[in-house]
Amino acid sequence: MTNNEKQAQIEAVYARSRRLFPEVPELTVEELDRLSSTTSVVLVDVRAEKEQNVSMIPGAVTAQEFERFPDWYRNGTVVAYCTVGHRSGLYAKKLLSQGWQAFNLKGAILAWTHADRDLVDQHGPTRRVHVAGSKWSFEADGYHPTW
């Protein structure tokens, strides 16, 4: 599958999920860049620990850390992400209902790979990314899926 075909698959999967949280504002990776240049942004990874152990977006915190120390992040704009954007959209919806300024990262970590962005694990930079299985292997060329 080409990168364009993979991106189309990410967009299709995300569009189906989007119906569950239409009120949640979303950001593309490029829009996140622009927001980050003018605003304090807190990236929150809502995936399971085994997924986070494979890789995370640099500087992101886990949902558990965010929830344990919410006052640390109160002045930031929250941008949630998962693999495609389904779980993070639901998480951002919950945060909005609690009065947070929150966004969902459209296409999530898979869109991040298509923007050729860095990922990290506990040892440093990595090109590995967790996906749900071979049929969900929509990462950009040059990244290595694991499940």
Number of domains observed in the structure of the chain: 1
Q: What pLDDT, on a 0 to 100 scale, did the predictor assign at position 98?
A: 96
In tens, the pLDDT along 22-51 reads 999 999 999 999 999 999 999 999 999 999
| pLDDT, the chain, mean | 97
106: domain range?
3-146
Q: What pLDDT, on a 0 to 100 scale, did the predictor assign at position 33?
A: 96
Q: What pLDDT, on a 0 to 100 scale, did the predictor assign at position 14?
A: 97
Give the Cα separation of 120 and 142 in Å (integer).
15
Q: What pLDDT, on a 0 to 100 scale, did the predictor assign at position 1?
A: 93
Q: Which two tokens stand for residue 64?
A: 């558990």
Q: Which two tokens stand for residue 63?
A: 């949902």
∠ CA 27-33-36, nearest 5°, is: 95
Hey, how many other C-beta atoms are within 10 angstroms of the C-beta on 16?
11
Q: What pLDDT, on a 0 to 100 scale, did the predictor assign at position 12?
A: 97
Helix (H) or strand (E) holding 42: strand 41-45
In tens, the pLDDT along 55-103 reads 999 999 999 999 999 999 999 999 999 999 999 999 999 999 999 999 9
- Using pLDDT thresholds of 50, 70 and 90, give the confidence band for residue 131: very high
CATH of the domain at 51: 3.40.250.10
In DSSP terms, 43 is beta-bridged to 79
Cβ atoms of 25 and 35 within 8 Å: the answer is: no
